[in-house]
A and B are shown apart, each in its own frame.
Chain A
Amino acid sequence: MSGAGALSLPVLRVALYEGRGAEPLDGAQRFAVMQTLLDRGYRVTRVGAGGAAAPARADDGNALAVLGRFTERQPGEAVADSGGRVWFRDIAGATADGVAAVVDAIRGECEVREPGAWKPWFPVIDFDRCTNCMQCLSFCLFDVYGVSKGGQIQVQNHDNCKTDCPACSRVCPEVAILFPKYRHGPIHGGEIQADDVRREAMKVDISALLGGDIYAALRDRSAKAKSRFSKERDEERALKERQKCLVKLQENLDIPAEVLASLPSLEDIQAKAEAAKARAQAAVDAAAAAARQEG
Chain B
Amino acid sequence: MPETPTTAAPAPNLIYCRCAYARVVPRKVKDGVLEALAASGADFDAVPDLCEMSARRDPRLAEIAAAGGATIAACYPRAVRWLFSSAGAPLDGERVTILNMREETAEAVVESMLKPNDGEGR
Residues of A within 8 A of B (CB): 7-8, 11, 15, 17, 19-22, 24, 27-28, 30-31, 34-35, 38-39, 41-48, 50-61, 64, 66, 68, 70, 72, 74-75, 78, 80-82, 86, 88, 115-116, 118-122, 124-127, 154-155, 158-159, 178, 180-183, 185, 188-191
**Contact between chains at A126 and B5 (CB < 8 Å):** no
A56 contacts B55, C-beta separation under 8 Å: no
Output the nearest chain B residue to A124 by Cβ-Cβ distance. B82
Q: Contact at A31–B51, with CB atoms within 8 Å?
A: no
Contact of B38 among A34, A45, A58, A181 (CB under 8 A): A34
* A-B pairs with lowest CB-CB distance, top 6: A189-B79, A189-B76, A27-B39, A31-B38, A120-B51, A120-B52
Q: CA of A189 to CA of B79 in the docked complex: distance in angstroms?
A: 5
Cβ A118 vs Cβ B2 within 8 A? no
Which single residue of chain B is at the shortest CB-CB distance from A33? B38
Q: Is the CB of B48 within 8 A of A38?
A: yes
- Nearest CB of chain B from residue A155's CB, rounded to whole Å: 6
Give the shortest distance, in Å, between B70 (CB) and chain A (any CB).
12
- The verdict on B122 contacting chain A, using a C-beta distance below 8 Å, is no
Q: Which of B6, B12, B85 contacts A55 (CB 8 A)?
A: B12
Interface extent on B, as a size class?
35 or more
In the bound complex, how far is the Cα of B34 from the Cα of A75, in angstroms? Answer: 31
Q: Which residues of B contact A45 (CB under 8 A)?
A: 12, 43-46
Interface pair B9/A189, CB less than 8 Å apart:
no
- A54-B4 Cα distance, complex, nearest whole Å: 8
Decide: B85 and A127 in contact? CB cutoff 8 A: yes
Shortest distance in angstroms between A165's beta carbon and chain B's nearest beta carbon?
14
B37-74 Cβ-contact flags toward A at 8 Å (1 or 0): 01111111111110110111011100100000000000
Contact of A180 among B9, B56, B79 (CB under 8 A): B79
Q: B11 contacts the other chain (Cβ, under 8 Å)? A: yes
Chain B residues with CB below 8 A from A124, complex form: 51, 54, 79, 82-83, 86
Do the beta carbons of A57 and B8 come within 8 Å of each other?
yes
A23 vs chain B, min Cβ distance (A): 12
**Residues of B contacting A64 with CB < 8 Å?**
5
Check B48–A42 contact: CB distance below 8 A.
Answer: yes
Chain B neighbourhood of A43, CB < 8 A? 45-48, 60
A22 to chain B, nearest CB (A): 6
Given A46-B38, A178-B82: A52 in contact with B22 (beta carbons within 8 A): no
**What are some 23 contacts across the A-B interface (CB < 8 A)?**
A15-B5, A28-B39, A31-B38, A34-B46, A38-B48, A43-B45, A50-B43, A52-B9, A53-B9, A58-B6, A75-B1, A82-B6, A119-B22, A120-B49, A121-B51, A124-B51, A124-B79, A127-B85, A180-B76, A183-B24, A189-B77, A189-B80, A190-B78
In the complex, what distance in Å separates the CA atom of A71 from the CA atom of B4? 15
User: How far in angstroms is the closest Cβ of chain A from B113?
Assistant: 13
- In the complex, how many angstroms separate the beta carbon of A181 from the nearest chain B beta carbon? 4
Kindly report which residue of chain A lies nearest to residue B78, judged by CB atoms.
A189
Q: B15: shortest Cβ distance to chain A, in Å?
A: 9
Q: Contact check: which of B4, B51, B77 meets A181 at CB < 8 Å?
A: B51
Residue with the greatest number of chain A CB neighbours at <10 A, chosen from B55, B56, B59: B55
User: What is the bound-complex CA distance between A155 and B57, given in angstroms?
Assistant: 12
Q: Which of B4, B12, B42, B44 has the most CB of A within 10 A?
A: B4
Contact A17 B4 (CB under 8 A): yes
Chain B, residue nearest A72 (CB)? B1
Q: How far is the CB of A61 from chain B (nearest CB, A)?
A: 8
Given A19-B4, A21-B2, A189-B76, answer yes or no on A51-B51 (Cβ-Cβ < 8 Å). no
Q: Are A178 and B79 in contact (CB under 8 A)?
A: yes
Find out whether the CB atom of B60 lies under 8 angstroms from the CB atom of A66: no
Set B5, B24, B86: member contacting A56, Cβ < 8 A: B5
Query: Is the Cβ of A57 less than 8 Å from the Cβ of B3?
Result: no
